[in-house]
Amino acid sequence: MTAQLLDGVALGQKLRAGFKQRADELAAQGMRPGLAVILIGEDAASQVYVRNKVNACTQAGIHSEKYVYPCDVAPQVVFDKIAELNADAKIHGILVQLPLPKHFDADSVLEAIAPQKDVDGFRAENVGALMQGQPCFIPCTPYGAMKLFEAAGVSLKGKEAVVVGRSNIVGKPMAMLLMHAGATVTVCHSQTSDLKAHCRRADILVAAIGKPKMITGDMIKPGAVVIDVGINRTADGKLCGDVDFESAKDVASFITPVPGGVGPMTITMLLANTLESAERSLNT
């Protein structure tokens, strides 16, 4: 078997064309949706992600503002900026690029964002709403994965889903979304014994680990749908996922490439959440 690609670039482009139309409709009513992105420190990958997010906003007709701070910035400076953006009617979404330098308490930074502008869906109350099945904003990466399933016509009802990784930004919300969609979900992590056995049971396998090519073809059930969230750099500087694509593609029925799978969908769903936030603010 050679798996079909779940192409996040193509799906992202299709969805973004619709977003541009929605942004234009808002503009016709005198409102331009706006996203503010805060970047702290010099992490090379974060700089690329922020640049891609800002460019995607421009293409979709969404206003964006970027605030860049040096690694040693005083936390209060960032809290003051977030308070200012919370009160700014031009801004409908605020994103703080993670990870943050060590002297920051990431939770308190995320909690400082107004809930109605928390387009990453990371604030505790938005996490709770997602858990209750009534999300305000769905975290962008798992949201993007759900859109890939939907576009490929992958039914989740009654399926065995295994999520490898239990982070607050990917693994946990991914598991919650799969559960709400009717899958039976197992969440694996670094203390899981016999990871391979869990993965081998999965009709739907999501890898969000941060370990290059850790999931190999022999760990995948024939015909499984594989979502590779990982973004890693190999010794020769190339990007690769958490799944060993070469061996996995001969076993899976569908698989996301890295790059070109989940990454572009994450940005696409950030645009979706920002637009949604702007539309809500127009209606309140």
- Interface residue list for ligand NDP (CB under 6 A): 141, 164-167, 169-171, 188-192, 195, 208-211, 229-232, 262-263, 266
Instruction: Write down the least CB distance from residue 246 to ligand NDP, Å.
Output: 18
Would you call the peptide bond into 99 cis, given omega within 30 degrees of 0 as the criterion? yes
Backbone angles phi, psi at 51, to 5 degrees: -60, -45
- Helices 140-152 and 8-28, packing angle to 10 deg: 110
Residue 120 bears catalytic tag: yes
DSSP state of 74: -
Nearer Cβ to ligand NDP (31/60): 60
Name the minimum Å distance from CB 133 to ligand NDP.
Answer: 22
Min separation Cβ 67 and ligand NDP, Å: 21
Least separation in angstroms between residue 162's CB and ligand NDP is 11
Selecting among 97, 172, 213, 228, the annotated active-site residue is 97
53 catalytic residue (yes or no): yes
By the 8 A CB rule, do 154 and 133 touch?
A: no
Please state, in angstroms and rounded to a whole number, the distance separating the CA atoms of residues 168 and 190.
Answer: 15
Q: Which is nearer to ligand NDP, 32 or 210 (CB)?
A: 210
* Angle ∠(119,85,23) on CA atoms, nearest 5: 55
- Nearer to ligand NDP by Cβ, of 131 and 240: the residue is 240
Q: Which of 7, 53, 159, 203 is catalytic?
A: 53
Q: Which is nearer to ligand NDP, 31 or 229 (CB)?
A: 229
- CA 85 to chain centroid, in Å, comes to 22
- Which residue sits closest to ligand NDP, CB atoms considered? 167
Catalytically annotated residue among 7, 117, 118, 120: 120
- Residue 4 known to be catalytic: no
**Burial (Cβ within 10 Å: 0-12, 13-18, ≥19) of residue 279:** middle
Catalytic residues: 53, 97, 120
